Amino acid sequence: MATLDAVTFREPEQFYRVAKALPGTSGSLLLQTCNRVEVYLNADEGKDVGGNLLSHWALETHFKLSHLNRIVDVRKEEEVVDHLVRLSAGLESMLVGETQILGQIKSTLAAARANGAADQLLSDVFDRAIAAGSRIREQTGIGRGAVSLGSAAVQLAETFLGTPSGWRVLVVGTGQAAMLTVKS
């Protein structure tokens, strides 16, 4: 988690300014959640857009470029589409079927559009991945039951501790994860 926090863009608007300025890039999206930082680019083939982006990423986050190069997973073309559909469907989450990611992907697309960064191709790919993920969830039942880590934690606690009305104190964590657990 320390590495994830270290490579997180603190100012997404700055990422969009940098991405727009990269030669050969016509669109970009930045997806940041509690367990991922993903950058999507529509770039001209043959340009070293990835290398330029990684250099800016390292500067922005004060993360060593050599280390960033080792941990980044690069996907292209159909691999990107496949990953996005799996992500939208909840198959790439820590808890299979987790529902938050679909909303986060929608928010990512909205933010990229608001920053003038989502070109037509990336908009279409994200719109279709969202639609496919929604349909997969609907038709397969992925996400029924525990749909977030918070609700899974509550279900597990109930197994061992009984109903929440009998609990005095349960400290689960901090931040967004704790808030979602308390809601569950």
Catalytic, 35? Answer no
> Facing residues of 40 across strands?
29
Q: Note whether 39 and 28 are within 8 A (CB).
A: yes
| d(C-alpha 85, C-alpha 98), whole Å | 14
Q: Note whether 65 and 71 are within 8 A (CB).
A: no
Q: Which two tokens stand for residue 36?
A: 């991922």
Phi/psi at 30 (5° precision): -125, 115
Of 6, 8, 9, 34, catalytic: 34
| d(C-alpha 148, C-alpha 163), whole Å | 19
First to last CA, the chain: 23
Q: Going by C-beta distance under 8 Å and a sequence separation of 6 or more, which residues neighbour residue 142?
A: 89, 90, 91, 96, 97, 136
| d(C-alpha 175, C-alpha 184), whole Å | 15
Q: Any idea which residues carry the catalytic annotation?
A: 34
